[in-house]
A and B are shown apart, each in its own frame.
Chain A
Amino acid sequence: MDYSSFIYLKEELSLIAVIVILLLYDIFGSKKSLTYFQPVACLLLVGHILLTCCPAPAVLAIFGDTPAVDQASAGVYPLFSGMYNLYPLGSIVKSILAVGTLLVLLQARGWLESENTVIRRGEFYVITLFTLLGMYFMIAAGNFLLFYIGLELASIPMATLIAFDKFRHKSAEAGAKYILTAVFASGLSLYGISLVYGTTGTLYFADIPAGVTGSPLQIMAFIFFFVGLAFKLSLVPFHQWTPDVYEGAPTPVTAYLSVISKGAAAFVLMAILCKVFGNLIEQWQAILFWVTIATITLANLFALRQQNLKRFFAYSSISQAGYIMLGVISGSALGVTSLIYYVLVYMFSNLAAFGVISIIERRSGKVTIDDYNGLYSTNPRLSVVMMIALFSLAGIPPFAGFFSKFFVFAAAVAEEYYWLVFIALLNTVISLYYYLRVVKAMFINKNETAIAGFRSDAYTRLSLVICCAGILLLGILSVVYGSIHHYSLGW
């Protein structure tokens, strides 16, 4: 056992350190010092993000260490005999997820300070960061066991987050629904993994491809495995839990579920499809083809009729996951670049929207589209933020959402999925309709009793400013896409 390898785990180790510090702080901190809990937690997370963004070789250089690993294999450093993979794209995705988590935590602050939740604020941070840690392990896993541990670490605490408002009936119900379906899906997934082990005799990602011959049992194994991640991504037909859970969960948790959890699952799915099941590419492309079409179309059709904004965004996020699948299905370097870029842009857009929903829900208790009538006259800035977010989600230039859609379409077209892209394009028209419904409500519909104007707290405002900056700049600054592309070339 080479203990020096632990240095390479800087992302996970620093996150664990943050969690431990916060846990101790929450338990032993005096009541007075705990008033600073959230700023301290956010600052710690910022420190963690900085460390994550810092490329591994640079960190290594500080310790005067040369990588004791095989550099030949396209930027992937297998560690701990291949149990853990270190690679630049993974670090990029991890830092994106960490930034998203930070934004969610900023938005959650006001809610956590409310009477019912203030004593459990420490728990919220620790549990959220544990799920993030689970996603890190999923991303970095080089073995199905570690992957499965990551998957569970990212799911089980999530159920407690969803049921965080446990005195609210809907929240508790959503938590129960989530854990039941999640357990079922991961059970199927585990069954698939066991079949993989049965047919190939190994759980290491690096060794499996040699044993994958495409026998029916292996195909079945793959499909069962796929269900676990498809559930997280809420692809049709594994999506039905989504609207109920999104509606019932506290809004910051919904935001977290819809963006961070999904982004991680999408990237991991693509990584495993390409690296582990590369030999089954024909089968999984065929599956994804139909699943993608069903996901985008059905989700859009459901979204058309939603009145509750949180349910509305549940369906919207299902259809967005469908668009992300366009990047996955191509299975190319272009696909993975466009996927990561899509997740990044989607994160800023969706979190901007959820930030607005969250603050409005807290101040007025209102969450339906009709309640937003005339919002522009009372809260012009929030309305504009919401509008920018919706335009970006709908893919209207010059907002970043346009570019991210463009790139996933380009990736799919490069693999000659013309019909798929055509159907996806038709669906963007439908999605434009329902996104514009909200914009129309805010800007055009008249309302005598519009939600009263208010000033949101500094944390929410900071997060919204970051999101808007992301939406406005990401599309224009080509360097972002370019640098992701640079690292994905070894894909």
Chain B
Amino acid sequence: MEYTFIIVLLPFLSFLFLGLAGKKLAPRVAGYVGTAVLAISAALSYLAAWQYFTTAKVGGVFKPWSMDFRWLNFTKDLHIDLGMLIDPIAVMMLVVITTVSLMVHLYSIGYMHGERGFQRYYAFLSLFTFSMLGLVVATNIFQMYIFWELVGVSSYLLIGFYYTKPEAVAASKKAFIVTRFADLGFLVGILLLSFYTGTFSFERLTSGDASLFNEAGGVTFMGCSVIGWALALIFIGGAGKSAMFPLHVWLPDAMEGPTPVSALIHAATMVVAGVYLVARLFPVYYLEAPDVLVLIAIVGAVTSLYAAVVACVQTDIKRVLAFSTISQIGFMMVGLGVSGLEGHEGLGYMASMFHLFTHAMFKALLFLGAGAIIHAVHSNEMGHMGGLRKYLPVTRFTFLIACLAIAGIPPFSGFFSKDEILAATFHFSPLLGAVMSFTAGLTAFYMFRLYYRIFWNKETRHDHAPHEAPRSMTIPLVFLAFVTLVAGPIPFGKFVTSDRAEYLIHLDWTVAGASVAIALVAIALATLLYRKESAIPDRLATSFKGLYTAAYKRFYLDELYLFVTKKIIFNGISRPIAWFDRHVVDGTMNGFATLSQRVSCAIRGFQSGQVQQYVMVILLGTLFITVLVLFI
């Protein structure tokens, strides 16, 4: 399996090449190079997946493969390694990342055609892909943290790609600061965990060896065990990247980046890093801090419901998709939160990973479809669309497939994965199950609202007739639609499970039937309201004005953040600190500098250029030291 190293390395080389030599290449060539490199990476990932899933099974359990080299020693036991850990979830993520990234690379050749900084764009895409791949194959939590930050940086660079646009710059800063803030929790969590367990290694942490946690056994802080705190803090890091409530505020704004970037980073890969992190450490969560898992489930459910409600009233199509992403990641978190570890208890885990996989495909498809639509009408607003079904046939059908998948209609892939999550949730708590079912219904509603308002409804006048996207853009759409169509019946439980043993999926027909019924009702409602132009939506909006405005304004969370940061933190805390910094710290430093300069001036005469004096100083210095040592 050593060759898996190349999968990670190739995008990095591509980044270096495009970053350093990009300016000398024709834009087109840069695109081809990036895409070709990614194609090789993707092919190798498929090979790795095939080889791993066919050969790595020992005694019914997938055996992880890893290689490591020691990078930095802290203490005798605690050291940072860099390496590759290949196990079922890592392999799955390799496949997901390289596939979506390849599609985005290909798609961008058409979408970004003629943009300024085309080569730079491809260099950043490669950098992101490299960081994300490095994150998923990390053998230890510190390596993951390094790549985690790299992912954050490349996301920042890509969101702010149109750096001449003030909104894009603001959005990239917001994304970076919010996630970085969450990463602080992650870092503290890592330090706590490694301090008490003496290791960073995932394999050791998740081996189920309880003796690792002995040292932290009795230590508690504010009524919770230290390990619990550490894991909760690590989850905060994950929540930041995965846009969990209330740290989700950066994701809708991040839609200012180019649309293919949104498809890659803010739908399929980076935002599931948090889910991946929890899944990676799942045995530790389950065995050492089950309370934190419940917290994760609750946060996931709240996020999911909140985002679904907000998505119902947004009018910018990318924002609808952004909130839908947040909501779906909430589903995954709930799946992990309600899961058990062994055998049949691990349904939630398996379902969550399955949903991660299917969601990556259909959400990337939705975003790429949205990109094709924006490409055609040059606007993000639903109001400027409508009736596009005649002009964009390929986009329309692929978009419809994705909508059906996310709404959970069989036999599309989303049905299978989401249904498993719902089943696991009902098994855990019927109340939570009901909330999630309701959210699933909302999902179907807002997705079809989106679909109808883009492709049906009243046709808007266009200056020139919208046209279907070029081949390089439609091929990825068709490919992803194909995956979405066929991925459902994959026996996912054979490959990725919480205990790495085989898990037999059998559908829970009551849950499945109910959720399909709910989805159908929601779709019917959306059809009624939005298929033809009608006055009912506006009337509803007026009659529920308070709720509508609140949801449209995302329940004023951004305003709350602004209030807290600008009014309370800036005025109450930052200003006094700034004063202290300017007057006391800088004053000391300036004094120090002036003093240095003065002394420097004063002692200049000491260096006379006369060799006799030098020798004299040597002699006197020697005698001085002798006297000092002997008599004092």
Contacts and interface: CB of A to CB of B under 8 A. Distances in A.
Interface of A: 176-177, 180-181, 184-185, 188, 216, 219-220, 223-224, 227, 231, 237-238, 240-241, 243-244, 283, 286-287, 291, 298, 300-302, 304-305, 430, 433, 478, 482
B629 A240 contact: no
Given A227-B618, A283-B629, A240 B613 contact: yes
Contacts of A298: 603
B560 interface: no
B600 A237 contact: no
B622 A304 contact: no
A195 to B, nearest CB: 11
Given A220-B630, A238-B621, A301 B596 contact: yes
20 contacts: A181-B614, A184-B615, A188-B622, A219-B626, A220-B630, A224-B626, A231-B618, A237-B621, A240-B607, A240-B614, A291-B625, A301-B600, A301-B603, A302-B603, A304-B596, A305-B597, A305-B604, A478-B70, A478-B73, A482-B73
A227 B624 CA distance: 12
Contact of A177 (B71, B604, B611): B611
- Chain A interface main SS type: helix
Q: 9 tightest A-B contacts by CB? A: A237-B621, A240-B614, A301-B600, A304-B600, A177-B611, A184-B615, A223-B626, A227-B622, A238-B618
Contacts of A188: 618-619, 622
Contacts of A180: 611, 615
Contact of A181 (B600, B601, B615, B620): B615
A240 B70 CA distance: 45
A287 B628 CA distance: 9
Contacts of A283: 629
B72 interface: yes
Nearest to A220: B626
A291 B607 CA distance: 18
B599 interface: yes
Contacts of B71: 478
Contacts of B114: none
B609 interface: yes
Contacts of B620: 237
Interface residues of B, number: 30
Contacts of B626: 219-220, 223-224
B434 interface: no
A433 B617 CA distance: 29
Given A219-B629, A240-B617, A302 B600 contact: yes
B72 A478 contact: yes
Contacts of B73: 478, 482
A223 B600 contact: no
Given A176-B611, A188-B622, 5 more contacts: A188-B619, A237-B624, A286-B629, A302-B607, A478-B72
Contacts of A240: 606-607, 613-614, 617-618
Contacts of A300: 596
Contacts of B619: 184, 188
A180 B73 CA distance: 47
Nearest to A188: B622
B160 to A, nearest CB: 23
A241 B610 CA distance: 9
Contacts of B614: 177, 181, 240-241
Given A304-B596, A305-B604, A241 B621 contact: no
A181 B597 contact: no
Interface in B28-73: 70-73
A240 B604 CA distance: 12
A79 B624 CA distance: 38
Contacts of B600: 301-302, 304-305
Given A219-B630, A227-B618, A287 B596 contact: no
Given A298-B603, A302-B600, A287 B618 contact: no
A240 to B, nearest CB: 4
> Which residue of B593, B603, B606, B607 has the most chain A CB atoms within 10 A of its CB atom?
B607
A177 B610 CA distance: 9
A184 B607 contact: no
B83 to A, nearest CB: 14
A304 B622 CA distance: 27
Interface string B254-284: 0000000000000000000000000000000
A89 to B, nearest CB: 19
Contacts of B603: 298, 301-302
Interface in B333-360: none
Contacts of A301: 596, 599-600, 603
A478 B68 CA distance: 14
Contacts of A227: 618, 621-622
Contacts of A482: 70, 73
Contacts of A433: 593
Nearest to B622: A227
> Which residue of B73, B599, B613, B618 has the most chain A CB atoms within 10 A of its CB atom?
B618
Given A301-B600, A301-B603, A304-B600, A223 B622 contact: yes
B47 to A, nearest CB: 30
A417 to B, nearest CB: 18
Nearest to A223: B626
Contact of B629 (A185, A223, A238): A223
A361 to B, nearest CB: 21
B611 A430 contact: no
A223 B622 CA distance: 7
Contacts of A184: 615, 618-619
A219 B618 CA distance: 18
B618 A185 contact: yes
A286 B609 CA distance: 30
A181 B622 contact: no
Contact of A304 (B70, B597, B621, B624): B597
A181 B630 contact: no
A224 B599 CA distance: 30
A448 B630 CA distance: 60
A308 to B, nearest CB: 12
Contacts of B613: 240
Nearest to A306: B600
A216 B629 CA distance: 9
A305 B607 CA distance: 13
A491 to B, nearest CB: 17
Contacts of A216: 630
A433 B597 CA distance: 12
Contacts of B606: 240
B327 to A, nearest CB: 40
Nearest to B630: A216
A231 B606 CA distance: 17
B625 A287 contact: yes
B601 A305 contact: yes
A241 B596 contact: no
A196 to B, nearest CB: 15
B625 A430 contact: no
Contacts of B618: 181, 184-185, 188, 227, 231, 237-238, 240
A251 to B, nearest CB: 20
A274 to B, nearest CB: 18
Contact of B622 (A224, A243, A302): A224
Nearest to B71: A478
Contacts of B615: 180-181, 184
B24 to A, nearest CB: 16
Contacts of B609: 244
A286 B630 CA distance: 12
Contacts of B604: 302, 305
Contacts of B596: 300-301, 304, 430
Nearest to B595: A301
A482 B72 CA distance: 9
Nearest to A178: B611
B262 to A, nearest CB: 31
A378 B37 CA distance: 36
B506 to A, nearest CB: 51
B607 to A, nearest CB: 6
